[in-house]
Structure 1
Amino acid sequence: MGDHGKTKSDISLPGIFASSAFAACFAEVCTLPLDTAKVRLQLQKKAVEGDGLGLPKYRGLLGTVGTIAREEGMSALWKGVVPGLHRQCLFGGLRIGLYEPVKNFYVGKDHVGDAPLSKKILAALTTGALGITVANPTDLVKVRLQAEGKLPPGVPRRYTGAIDAYSKIVRQEGVAALWTGLGPNVARNAIINAAELASYDQVKQTILKIPGFTDNVLTHLFAGLGAGFFAVCIGSPVDVVKSRMMGDSTYKSTLDCFVKTLKNDGPLAFYKGFIPNFGRLGSWNVIMFLTLEQAKKFVKSFESS
Structure 2
Amino acid sequence: MSTTATTTAQQQYEQLQHLKRMEENTSLYKTILKFVCGGVSAGFVSGLMNSPDHVKTRMQLTHQSTTNSGNTTNMSFSRAYYNLYKTEGLGVLLGRGLFAAVVREQFYSSVRMGLYDPLKFILSQLLSKNSNVNGHVTTTSDVGLTIKILSGAISGSIGSIVSNGCDLVKIRQQSVMNGSRAPNWFFIVKKILKEENGVMGLFRGGTPNVLRASILTATQLSTYDHTKHLLLKTPYFSDNVYTHVTASLVAGLLSTLATNPSDVIKTKLMASKKSHHGVSSVAAEMESYRGLIDCAVKTYQKHGMRAFMSGFVPNYIRIGTHCLLTLPLYEELRKLMGLSSV
TM-score (norm 1): 0.89
Q: Offset at 1:51? A: 4.1
Match of 1:235 in 2: 259
Determine whether 1:125 maps to 2:148: no
Do residues 64 (structure 1) and 80 (structure 2) align? yes
Structure 1 residue 132, shift from structure 2 partner: 1.1
Letter in 1 for 2:144: P
Matched with 2:192 is 169
Matching residue of 2:217 = 193
Relative distance call for 1:232 and 1:298 in structure 2 (3 A) is same
| Structure whose CA Rg is larger | 2
2:112 maps to 1:95: yes
Shift of 1:45: 1.6
Aligned to 1:260: 298
Alignment pair present for 1:14 and 2:32: yes
Q: Secondary structure at the match of 1:289?
A: helix
Which letter does structure 1 place at the counterpart of 2:107? Answer: L
1:258-303 deviation line (CA, Å, top 9, x unaligned): 11111110111111122222111100111111211111111118xx
User: In the alignment, is the contact (CA less than 8 A) between 1:196 and 1:227 conserved in 2?
Assistant: yes
Aligned twin of 2:328:
290
Q: Tell me how far apart the structure 1 counterparts of residues 310 and 226 of structure 2 sit (CA, whole Å).
A: 28
Indicate how the Cα distance of structure 1 residues 4 and 294 shifts in structure 2: closer, same or farther if over 3 A, else same: closer
> In terms of mean alpha carbon deviation, does 161-170 or 233-242 score higher?
161-170
Q: Does 1:41 align with 2:41?
A: no
Q: Distance in 1 between matches of 2:42 and 2:236?
A: 29
Unaligned 5+ runs, structure 2: 1-12, 126-134, 274-287
* Alignment coverage as a number of residue pairs: 294
Q: Counterparts in 2 of 1:102-181, with a 5 A limit?
A: 102-108=119-125, 110-113=136-139, 114=141, 115-151=143-179, 157=181, 159=183, 161-173=184-196, 174-181=198-205
**Could you tell me how far apart the structure 1 residues matched to 2:17 and 2:31 are?**
18
C-alpha contact 2:237 2:243 (8 A) present in aligned 1? yes
Q: CA deviation at 1:192?
A: 1.0
- Paired residue type of 2:86: R
Query: Residues 46, 81 of structure 1: CA spacing in aligned structure 2 closer, same or farther, 3 A cutoff?
Result: closer
User: Does the 8 A contact of 1:143 with 1:247 survive in 2?
Assistant: yes
Moved more, 62-71 or 2-11: 2-11
**Match of residue 249 from structure 2:** 225
Larger mean CA deviation between 124-133 and 269-278 belongs to 269-278
After TM superposition, the score normalised by the length of structure 2 is 0.80
Root mean square deviation, CA, Å: 2.2
- Are 1:28 and 2:46 counterparts? yes
Letter in 2 for 1:110: H
SS of residue paired to 2:338: helix
Distance 1:290 1:5 in 2: 19
Instruction: Give the alignment partner of residue 210 of structure 1, picking from 221, 234, 246.
Output: 234
Q: Distance in 2 between matches of 1:65 and 1:201?
A: 33
What is the letter of the counterpart of residue 314 of structure 2?
P
Partner of 2:89: 73
Equivalent-residue separation in structure 2 for 1:175 and 1:187 (angstroms): 21
Structure 1 unaligned residues grouped into runs of 5+: none
Q: For 2:36 and 2:64, how far apart are their aligned partners in 1?
A: 43
Distance 1:70 1:51, change over 3 A: closer
Letter in 2 for 1:96: M
The alpha carbon displacement at 1:213 in A equals 1.2
Contact 1:192 1:235 in 2 (8 A): yes
Shift of 1:209: 2.2
Tell me the percent identity. 29
3-state SS of paired residue (1:300): coil
Using the TM superposition, give the Cα deviation of residue 190 of structure 1 relative to its aligned residue in structure 2, in angstroms: 0.8
Aligned partner of residue 73 in structure 1, secondary structure: helix
CA distance in 2: counterparts of 1:230 and 1:28, whole angstroms? 19
SS in 2 for 1:98: helix
SS at match of 2:179: coil
Over residues 7-59 of structure 1, what are the superposed CA-to-partner deviations in whole Å (9 max), with x where a residue is unaligned? 345481221111100011011011111100100011002676x8426794x73
